[in-house]
Chain A
Amino acid sequence: MSAAPARPRPLIDALLPVAALAIALMLFSLFVALEGQAPLEVLETIFAGAFGDAFGWQNTLLRAAPLILTGLAVALPARAGLVIIGGEGALAFGALGAAAVAVPLAGSPNPLLWLAMALAGMIAGGVLIGFAGALRQWRGVNETISSLLLSYIAVALMNHFVEGPLRDPASLNKPSTYPLAPEAMLGALPGLDVHVGLAVGVVCALLAWVFLHFTVWGFAVRVVGGNPRAAAMAGLAVTPWVIGLCAAGGAMAGLAGMIEVAAVHGACNASVLVGYGHAGILIAFIARQNPLAVVPAAVLIGGIGAAGSLLQRRLDMPDATVLVLQGILFVVLIAIETLRGHAWRLPQLAAPRHSPTPALAAKTDVSV
């Protein structure tokens, strides 16, 4: 950890995620081989299950839709230097909020109903993660831990409402909220077997990208994320920016929850919680917090997830296989950061650090 900042090497730096993917695939192959499976066959099956045919693609894109949004939920606060891992709870809150307003508003004209559901989901998720940002700015509480705790609290609240006050008495085995009217459901994209949520995700990613890279506010955000102290000295209101980005991120995850309710499940119940919120962390890291790169990263992770059932059916492997692949990919991705700007030099394990201050500063660099 030298005192000098890493020299930017755009080409090498851009290739690092690709290198990470290659290394992760090799390690995963090794794991699979040790488990007595043929690595090539497993990788082939994953590819076939994810991108092999129209059915695979459809499955992949269905998962990518909420994943783009949960990826943005991590990527946006990260631009202000915060590591948020509470996306799953924000998604749960969003799903709950959307389902809660759908019941009293049933019968309203569709666009209005969709708008109300989306707003409810975004506000619910935004308040949750915004609170983590506020706790950090006002009380110095580490946002990584607080967002995860809030996530557990949100999931508990969702369970409480789904099994209690908002429960549809007709949902016997699987407690759910009252089902949405069929016409309130979000339809498919024209010509595709994938719901509108995919387009919503892509549009959100585009908007976030334009905001961050082409507006004065985006510049302010980058200053805040790069060096809060300098930003404060330059007269930028750091606290509102940090809380605002957290809230915006939470709103994205909340919107993902709304989409899962309004396009897939038709009600809020435990099935909306399948780990999209957690996968969002990985996606944001693959994309290096770039909103546009979140889209292909979400498709990649969505594809890996979609391949799970084919692995199970064809090779009789546990559905956790894809979780192992994701885990390996994530670890490699974080570890390979060590090569950033120093790709020409081998990492030194016990490299001397000059003084505690730069060591701390570098460790707090969240855009790892």
Chain B
Amino acid sequence: MHVDAITAVLLAMLGGAIRVSTPFLFVSLGETITEKAGRINLGLEGTLVMGAMSAYAASLHSGQPWLGVLAAAGAGAVFGLLHGLLASLRRVNDIALGIALMLLGTGLAFYWGKAYIQPQAPTLTAFHLGAWSDSPALRSALDINPLFIAGLVLAFALHWAFANTRLGLTLRLVGDSEAAARAAGAAVIPTRIAATVFGGALAGVGGAFLSLFYPGSWNEGLSNGQGIMAVALVIFARWQPRRCVLAALMFGAAGAIGPALQSVGISSGYYLFNAAPYALTLLLMALTCSRDTSLKGAPGELSLNR
């Protein structure tokens, strides 16, 4: 490979990282909040798809892409509420419930989304931060979506809120030790429900990015497990919002390897490179998990690391 080609691939991966990471970022931030409160929502995959569909529908009907983002957050919150409420019932396993809601969310999104496969809805516009550059590759890499920036801000805001606000403290307490939370007078179940609702809303916004920016249309193959990968990403990020940003960028870059190589004419093994983010997730989980001790930084009430 020539130096030019390598540069092109690296640039495409950088662009891909910025372009593709936003859904990972939002879903993983949402899942971080939910898991901090001691619950796991595997249904975020379905929520993401549902968010993508609602966003596209709302944007098409209103002509306002930002209303689409709002609609996605609303749809995500509804699914979060469903998970939050049902997982609060005795004997209901949150992991199994998540799988069930994943199926329901996907089913509903496909059902209502049938009508939106063809028409073209207004999509979100990017900030062209690369206008100063002569390189078209760099320019397109630096076409940054406002949702990406919102996600960055949110990550740092959440980091601050977990450490410095009463709500953040309550959330962590509820997730770490139910007994201690009760002793401190915290409302355990309502806190968990609220955390799941918020997590669902963020996952919905992540979905809105898919249908309103990249790839920027609604179809049934839109999400390829980004919602599930986010769960693994949270483990990798050790339940820290700021590390979610790093993890999301890394996954975006991994997902961009295939298309980046294809853009310089290397198309053999395209599907293998498509598997890169999944393989990376698995590798990271195998390296960071441990059989004997619970994970460092993991909320104590979490049923994930049994």
Contacts and interface: CB of A to CB of B under 8 A. Distances in A.
A148 B225 contact: yes
Contacts of A63: none
A165 B156 CA distance: 47
B107 interface: yes
Secondary structure dominating the interface of A:
helix
A1 B177 CA distance: 16
B10 interface: no
Contacts of A274: none
Contacts of B101: 327, 331
Nearest to A357: B179
Contacts of A350: 88, 189-190
A288 to B, nearest CB: 12
B92 interface: yes
A351 B182 CA distance: 12
Interface string B151-167: 00000000000000000
Interface stretch (A53-61, A110-118, A156-164, A216-224): A156-164
B3 interface: no
A325 B86 CA distance: 18
Contacts of A156: 271-272, 274-275, 278
A135 interface: yes
A312 to B, nearest CB: 10
Nearest to A160: B271
A164 to B, nearest CB: 7
A348 B270 CA distance: 52
B279 A153 contact: yes
A85 B97 contact: no
Interface in B97-120: 97, 99-101, 103-108, 110-111, 113-114
B282 interface: yes
Interface residues of B, number: 63
Interface stretch (B195-203, B209-217, B286-294): B286-294
A362 B17 CA distance: 40
B282 A153 contact: yes
Interface stretch (A196-204, A259-267, A334-342): A334-342
B246 interface: no
A150 B96 CA distance: 18
Given A285-B96, A318-B114, A320-B114, A342 B90 contact: yes
Interface in B270-306: 270-272, 274-275, 278-279, 281-282, 285-286, 289-292, 300-301, 303-306
A153 B278 contact: yes
A330 B100 CA distance: 5
Interface string A131-150: 00001011111101110111
Interface of B: 42, 82, 85-86, 88-97, 99-101, 103-108, 110-111, 113-114, 177-179, 182, 188-190, 224-225, 228-229, 231-232, 268-272, 274-275, 278-279, 281-282, 285-286, 289-292, 300-301, 303-306
9 contacts: A139-B290, A145-B285, A146-B285, A149-B228, A149-B282, A285-B96, A327-B107, A330-B103, A364-B303
